[in-house]
Amino acid sequence: MMMRAVTAVLFDADGVLQRPTSDWWAQLTSLVPADGDAFVADLMAAEKPSLVGKGDFRDAVADVLRRWNSPASVDEALQAWSWFAAEPEVVSLIGSLRSSGVACHLATNQHAYRRAIMQDERGYGAWFDQTFYSCDLGLAKPDPAYFRAILGSLDLPASSVLFIDDNVANVAAASSVGLQAELYDLSAGVPALAELLRRYDLPIPA
């Protein structure tokens, strides 16, 4: 049972707002002659500190490429982190909510390199009232402190905020601090997201 009406919605980015535009995993595995999956796993592990603002992601990628004796350049490897695009229909839903007086915010785990692409190059900030990038907060999902930091900034009761993410652990963490939280993946289709929002009596056109 909902404790109060939702007055703000937090949207995750990858898997909710945006989707890959290329098979980035396959492209990254091609940067080494063998054990490509292990190489990409190493890259993902090296990425984690930069998600909370610790260290430069470019330097982390350079270290991994050296360890694996990859002939690829850092810029070549980094291209994979730009192969994404926002779903226009989701952006439209967010615009509709904001026009109706519902605050909408971005809540996403990103390092500074990708944040610059999203916020500065592609103008994501214009779509939201506030944007909460993990690299700026120094905290990342699924740490409950990430959500507490956002609530502190919004100065709203947790129960009036709806969080939408495609990761079960993130949804559970948001619920643990009192947010209303829902699991959603873009692969389910934008109509499923619209229906989810309507279930919370949010003003989404039929």
Chain centroid offset of residue 94 CA: 15
Tens of pLDDT, residue by residue over 97-154, are 999 999 999 999 999 999 999 999 999 999 999 999 999 999 999 999 999 999 999 9
DSSP string, the chain: --SS---EEEE-SBTTTEEESS-HHHHHHTTSSS-HHHHHHHHHHHHHHHHTT-S-HHHHHHHHHHHTT----HHHHHGGGG-EEE-HHHHHHHHHHHHTT-EEEEEE---HHHHIIIIIIS-GGGGSSEEEEHHHHT--TT-HHHHHHHHHHHT--GGGEEEEES-HHHHHHHHHTT-EEEE--GGG-HHHHHHHHHHTT-----
Q: pLDDT at residue 2 above 50?
A: no
Tens of pLDDT, residue by residue over 4-58, are 699 999 999 999 999 999 999 999 999 999 999 999 999 999 999 999 999 999 9
pLDDT of the residue at 136: 97
Tens of pLDDT, residue by residue over 16-25, are 999 999 999 9
